[in-house]
Amino acid sequence: MIEILISASFWAAVLRIASPLIFATMGELICERAGVLNLGIEGIMVIGAFAGWMAVYLGLPLWGGVAVAFCAGALFGLLHGVLVVPFGLSQHVVGLGVTMLATATAYFAYRLALPQVTTPPKIVPFQSWEVPVLSDIPLLGPALFAQTPLTYAAFACAGLVAFVLYRTPLGLAVRAAGENPAALEAQGVSVTGVRVGAVMVGSGLMAVGGSFLTLSAFSSFFFEMVNGRGWICIALVVFGAWRPGKAVLGALLFAGFDALQIRLQQTPIGAVVPYQLFLMLPYVLSILALVAMSRRAQVPAALMVPYAKGER
């Protein structure tokens, strides 16, 4: 156990596993801070994983793939946003519908593009990039500073989201849309516009999180590769009390347990305990995290409350 925890490869794996979760958790956090629950997250991660991979497979550079994934996510975000914000439809039902539609669209398009493949074709994914000087630090260097560019981008994204949310007028508008939309409207800002915009950007980030799986972690697109990560991110937003910094900590903690369970499977404990039990850990932990935070959570006041201009 101690041996695992002091190895650089373990901590490198923690950052790697956390990266897609950080992108998607930031995406969901933006949506929810603006007052919209986005259960489309799971499917949007699937479409991001597929669209990013497909774009690179067809010849785009890797960052082009990331951009395509963002746009594909934003498009499904637009669908979710339009249905639940101006039309005020059930955020639960529409979100689940968006997840089903986005997932089915990715699978349909994959089969359409590659009808007869048995082994999924590969692309050349992001390679790890060692930060000069810093990566030479013993232990810390190979753990923190020999990651793929998309992992650095995940942490930069979290910093950017925190900055925009708390230090800019735009972030104030997003938070107001989720806390007190009437006050925002009184300032002459369109609540509908802010909410739909937030859902689009947030969904774009979710899709980028999905594309991490195909463009950085693996080199192919598999069915069911997202495997509940989206739902885990919804739990991480609650666990992080709707704050970017705490949510990143939650993602790291979660990734730590995930990296640990993979390694514990190879120890003598793994020989006795069935491997399914280890694989259950992430989901069980997410539920426990929700229970632990249930009393203290600072839910945005207008989360899931549709806003109609002029109504009280």
Partner 1 sequence: MRLEPVANPTLLRQLGLPALALAATVLVAMGLALLAGANPFAVLGQILTGALGSRLAVLETLNRATPLIFTGLAVAVAFRAKLWNIGAEAQLYAGAIIAVLLGTGALGAPFVLPVSAAVALLAGAMLLLVPVLLKVRLGVDEVVTTLLLNFIMALFVSYLLEGPLKDPMGMGWPKSPALTPDARLPRIVDGLRLHWGFGIALIAAVIVWVVQTRTTLGFEMRAVGSNIRAARFAGMPVNAVLVKTALLSGGLAALAGWSEVAGAKGHLSLDLSPGFGYTGIIVAMLALLHPLGVVVTALFVAGVFVGADAMSRSAGVPTYIADMLLAVALLFMVLGIALTKVRVVRG
Q: Which residues of the shown chain bind partner 1 in the complex (CB under 8 A)? A: 39, 79, 83, 86-90, 92-94, 96-98, 100-101, 103-105, 107-108, 111-112, 115, 227-228, 231-232, 234-235, 238, 274, 276-277, 279-280, 283-284, 286-287, 290-291, 294-295, 297, 308-309
Nearer CB in complex with partner 1: 59/115: 115
Are 279 and 186 in contact by the 8 Å Cβ rule? The answer is no
Whichever of 89 and 131 has its CB closer to partner 1, that residue is 89
Closest CB 231 distance from partner 1, rounded Å: 5
What is the CB-side half-sphere exposure of residue 43 using CA atoms within 13 A?
23
Between residues 11 and 53, which has the closer beta carbon with respect to partner 1?
53
How many other C-beta atoms can be found within 10 angstroms of the C-beta atom of residue 120?
Answer: 17
CA-closest candidate to residue 285, choices 257, 245, 252, 247:
257
CB of 88 to partner 1, least distance (A): 7
21 vs 116: CA distance, rounded Å: 32
Shortest reach from residue 77's CB to partner 1, in Å: 14
What is the residue whose two structure tokens read 């992108």? Answer: 23
Residue 160 CB, nearest approach to partner 1 (Å): 26
Nearer Cβ to partner 1 (76/126): 76
Query: Which residue, 128 or 190, is less far from partner 1 as judged by CB?
Result: 190
Q: Count the neighbouring beta carbons within 10 Å of the beta carbon of residue 299.
A: 12
Tokens of 155: 């942490």
**Closest distance between partner 1 and the C-beta of residue 144, in Å?**
30
Long-range contacts of 248-251 (CB under 8 A, 24+ apart): 248/18, 248/22, 248/25, 248/155, 248/158, 250/25, 250/289, 251/18, 251/21, 251/22, 251/25
CA 310 to chain centre: 35
Minimal distance, residue 193 CB to partner 1, in Å: 12
Q: How many residues does the chain have?
A: 312
236: which 2 tokens? 């991480």
Between residues 15 and 21, which has the closer beta carbon with respect to partner 1? Answer: 21
| C-alpha to C-alpha distance for 31 and 100, rounded to whole angstroms | 19
- Report the residue number, 142 or 202, with the smaller CB distance to partner 1: 202
| Beta carbon of residue 282, minimum distance to partner 1 (angstroms, whole number) | 8
User: Rounded CA gap, 220 and 128, in Å?
Assistant: 17
Query: Which one, 111 or 167, has the nearer CB to partner 1?
Result: 111
Question: Which stretches of 85-189 are DSSP H helices?
Answer: 91-113, 140-144, 149-167, 169-179, 181-186
Minimum Å gap between C-beta 63 and partner 1 is 28
Q: What distance in Å separates the CA atoms of residue 76 and residue 99, rounded to the nearest whole number?
A: 9
